[in-house]
Amino acid sequence: MVTFIARVLLIVFSASIGYVVGGTFEPVMPWHPYAGLVVGAAAAFAVIAVEYLIKKFSFEGLVAPTVGVILGMVTASFIVEWLDLVLPDTFTLFDQVMHFITISLMLVLGYLGLSVGIKLKGDLRMLPAPTFGRAGLNAPKVLDTSVIIDGRIADICKLGFVEGTLVIPRFVLNELQNIADSSEPLRRTRGRRGLDILNEIQKQVSIDVRISEVDFPDVREVDSKLVRLAKQMNAKIVTNDFNLNKIAQFQGITVLNVNDLANALKPIVLPDEDFIIKIIKEGKEPGQGVGYLDDGTMVVVENGARLIGREVKVTVTSVLQTSAGQMIFTRIK
């Protein structure tokens, strides 16, 4: 309502100013006050139309191209001034074409600045910013191919455990596309799942997803490109790839491993603790039975092979923690 009133007042004031300005020409042209009225109202409507257009663009979508145009035009002015200083006074041809050269350079360099600004606008929000005691909290997070295909990152984002900007490098998108176009059915399914997960994340209004066009043509491996991009952007890497995790940590990059998060959220069981488990198959060792908790944790039951298909009460003897997850060893009570 306030916005509507403000727009009405803008139209009224603009039309009034146009009428007053047009009235100054009334002795010469009696119809000028009414022409000024129309022009003033039209100017107000033009401003409102520009306001609607601006709403469709993000802040960096406006700032980057505008800065590019300004820098291009300023550069053109410097070039013309420099030519005016270095060319001798006897070179009268320059004075005759100076305005033409100025306009031409401003158009060319302004257009180039606009083009560069549009290309780089998506990377503005990825630049590191002062954290003031919250170091790294809102740092950009670069997703790798494995964590996208895994899919759990979408649920983590949906629950609000991710802050800052999620960065999807163009070379990761290309790798996903190649996997989705594979002739192998399983690989093709994994690639398409990854693309579906990206679309799901992008639809979440609380998550800022950016596609980075930065590439490193001299590097072939996607993991190496991810590490270099993260170092360049001062970003974190989100992955569940064990090897990428180690390489990135070795180079001082913070890694958010989804598998580590899942393991941290699993319920803790202690030796001599009792619980009931259903044995569903035989284990690797003779006589062992295997069952699973609700979260997928494997439970190995000593001498449980003869009780496959039954629920039994077991006692925890030991817990083995690995990078792939937890394994609980038990005996029948």
Chain segment 201-232, per-residue pLDDT in tens: 888 767 788 888 888 888 888 889 999 989 88
- Does some domain include residue 127? no
Domain count, the chain: 3
Looking at the structure, tell me whether residues 112 and 161 fall in a common domain: no
What is the rounded distance in angstroms from the CA atom of residue 102 to the CA atom of residue 35? Answer: 35
Instruction: Inform me whether the pLDDT recorded for 123 exceeds 60.
Output: no
Per-residue model confidence (pLDDT) at position 133: 44
Looking at the structure, tell me whether residues 236 and 291 fall in a common domain: no
Environment class of 84 (CB within 10 Å of its CB; exposed 0-12, middle 13-18, buried 19+): middle
User: Among 139, 169, 318, which residue's Cα sits nearest to residue 236?
Assistant: 139
Please give the residue range of the domain that contains residue 54: 2-122
Looking at the structure, tell me whether residues 256 and 314 fall in a common domain: no
What is the rounded distance in angstroms from the CA atom of residue 94 to the CA atom of residue 91? Answer: 6
pTM attached to this predicted model: 0.52
Mean pLDDT for the stretch of residues 248-276? 85
Rg of the chain over all Cα atoms, to the nearest angstrom: 33
Residue 127 token pair:
């630049």
CATH of the domain at 275: 2.40.50.140
Per-residue model confidence (pLDDT) at position 314: 92
- Does some domain include residue 128? no
Looking at the structure, tell me whether residues 139 and 260 fall in a common domain: yes
Q: Hey, what long-range contacts does 52-56 have (CB within 8 A, 24 or more apart)?
A: none
Mean pLDDT for the stretch of residues 171-197? 90
